[in-house]
Amino acid sequence: MKKLYSFIDFIVNKISLYTFNPYLPGRVKDFIGYTQLKKNKHLYRNKTADHAYEFNLNGYSDFRKNNAAILDCSNIAEIFRPYLEKCKLIGYENDIDKPYFYNILREDLDHEAYNKFLEIGNNNNLLDTLRTDFGELVFVGGGIFRSKANILGKKLIGSQKWHLDRFSLKCFKLFVNLSDISESMGPTEVLDSKVTWKLLYNGLIKKILGVKKARNLKNGLFIDQKRFDRELSNKKIDNIGPIGTGLLANTGLCLHRGSLNKSFQDRYVLLLHYCLWDRYVENQEKLNKDISTGIWTRFIKKLG
């Protein structure tokens, strides 16, 4: 069965890339993943916490309309301030994540902070609200990510280019600033789902007609450069702001990217990741992390 899923995945991704239909893999994988979610439901039981953590959901109404919104997560950011200070004092382990950011959340460094992350990820009012609106979802990890300072002149690679997360149409990521983030520090940038759909519509036809393609797109996307520039200037959402600023987005439906940190300060962001299904479940007994994304998957294994 795994070989069949892999073959389907390969074919669907090829069709998606060559027809410029980035939503197709998410639709197919959601169907397959949902069957796996039911089959492996014992792996997704929530870790019991003393209480549910409360997010400020004042901006959530915008998310219901556009699949992207800014939230105030100051209380959550404050919880991880001591851990971040500890990391800065002792230095960092060079994980083999992505070359432009590193997950510095480590159980061996601070067991209490690590377990607090698990408790918050699995027991909070935001997850309850997402489940009410979108159905069954699971916490599939995240971490605390450090983006190194002063990487001027580096070529845009990977998720620094505009893209969709192609593994689900119900892929929710909450980015919480653990630093004061400015324009030069390389904020996470998002275009809401309505703008994204308009930009991506009829991508193959635009290519055939010779429309000028926008720059800094991952493979399999085709967008008119002029319209893209116009939408970026008017509709872009980002996490520029003080510590505690939260950016919530359905990254399966919203174009997004993590831009370059051109400042002289490291950037720190807490990430909580929810999805209709855990795309790593088939391999999690063999691997501690998914090298292709830099998202740690040991969390779910620990909860099993």
Q: What is the pLDDT of residue 210?
A: 92
Read off the pLDDT band of 46 (50, 70, 90): very low
The one-character DSSP state at 220 is T
**pLDDT 10s digits, 140-174:** 888 999 888 876 556 666 678 899 998 889 999 99
The CA distance from 45 to 203, in Å, is 40
Q: What is the pLDDT of residue 154?
A: 63
Task: Give residue 149's domain range.
Answer: 2-303
**pLDDT 10s digits, 123-138:** 999 999 999 999 888 8
Read off the pLDDT band of 283 (50, 70, 90): very low
**pLDDT 10s digits, 18-33:** 999 999 989 888 887 6
Give the bridge partners for 82, in sequence order. Answer: none
Q: What is the pLDDT of residue 52?
A: 81
Q: What is the pLDDT of residue 71?
A: 97
Report residue 197 as tokens. 């759909």
Averaged pLDDT for residues 272-296: 53
Yes or no: say if 214 and 257 are a contact pair by the CB < 8 Å rule: no
Q: What is the pLDDT of residue 127?
A: 93
Q: What is the pLDDT of residue 290?
A: 38
Tell me the CA distances in angstroms from 76 to 51, 107, 144, 248, one per residue in order: 14, 19, 12, 14
Contacts 24+ apart (CB under 8 A), 38-43: 40/278, 40/281, 42/304, 43/278, 43/281, 43/284, 43/300, 43/301, 43/303, 43/304
The pLDDT of residue 259 is above 70: yes
> For residue 201, what is the domain's CATH number?
2.60.120.620
Q: What is the pLDDT of residue 103?
A: 84
Q: What is the pLDDT of residue 58?
A: 93
Contacts of 254 (CB under 8 A, 6+ apart): 67, 68, 164, 190, 191, 192, 193, 196
Q: What is the pLDDT of residue 191?
A: 97
Yes or no: say if 36 and 281 are a contact pair by the CB < 8 Å rule: yes
Number of folded domains in the chain? 1
**pLDDT 10s digits, 191-247:** 999 999 999 999 999 999 999 999 999 999 999 999 999 999 999 999 999 999 999
User: Nearest 5°: phi and psi at 142?
Assistant: 135, -135
